[in-house]
Amino acid sequence: MDTPIKILMTAEVLKKRVEELGRHLSQTYEGQVPVLVGLLKGAVPFYADLARAMTIALEMQFMQVSSYGAGMKSSGQLKIQQHLTESIEDRQIILVDDIMDTGLTLFEIKEYLIKRGAKDVKICTLLDKPSRRLFPIHPDFIGFEIPDYFVVGYGLDYQERFRNLPYLGIYTP
């Protein structure tokens, strides 16, 4: 059967880069205890691997938001479906997501975290699609910059499928 998915990055390539990012974050936040705020559901595989690649003390929290409908284009509206469960007052936050596309999600969530009293918010995404940006924001830590492909796997979905692929692929229906 023909698959609509072409491999963009293998599991080995992802693993190597995520481990590098983990080491870099550990050095950057040495002596501090950052809160890793992960965005469900897309960030899950990246978040789990990144956290385990970090060698410093950290805390974990999650939020769930949605900006996409079921398709391949953003709805342009953000809904918070699950809020933080513990205080982030005066904490250093590393906001972890799968991808920055238009920037809407992370722009709004960063504002939200600052309003909740965070001392500092830095953004870490596995992927960055800078050519799609509509909001004045940029990730502070990036795994890979990619062109305007629609990608799936390693957390990223098309209509909720393919999140469990261990690699990253380009989806062309």
102-141: string of b/e by CB count within 10 Å (b at 16+)? bbbbbbbbbebbeeeebeebbbbbbbbbeeebeeebebeb
**Which of 156, 165, 168, 169 forms a contact with ligand IMP (CB under 6 A)?**
156
**Least separation, in Å, of the C-beta of 103 and ligand IMP?**
5
* Contact between 47 and ligand IMP per CB under 6 A: no
**Least separation, in Å, of the C-beta of 30 and ligand IMP?**
29
Pattern 41-70, Mg ion, x by CB under 5 A: -x-------------------------x--
Closer to Mg ion by Cβ: residue 42 or 139: 42
> If DSSP codes are grouped into helix, strand and coil, which group holds residue 69?
coil
Whole-Å CA distances, 160 to 77, 102, 119, 164: 18, 20, 34, 10
**Which of 50, 151, 165, 168 forms a contact with ligand IMP (CB under 6 A)?**
151
Amino acid of residue 103: G
By the 8 A CB rule, do 47 and 38 touch? yes
**Least separation, in Å, of the C-beta of 60 and ligand IMP?**
18
> If DSSP codes are grouped into helix, strand and coil, which group holds residue 9?
strand
Q: Is 101 a catalytic residue?
A: yes
* Contact between 28 and ligand IMP per CB under 6 A: no
Rg, Å, the chain Cα set: 16
Q: How far, in Å, CA of 30 to CA of 26, rounded?
A: 6
Q: Which of 97, 98, 101, 157 does the annotation list as catalytic?
A: 101
Amino acid of residue 93: I
Pattern 94-133, Mg ion, x by CB under 5 A: ----------------------------------------
Interface contacts to ligand IMP, rule CB under 6 A: 42, 67-68, 74, 97-105, 150-152, 156-157
Interface contacts to Mg ion, rule CB under 5 A: 42, 68
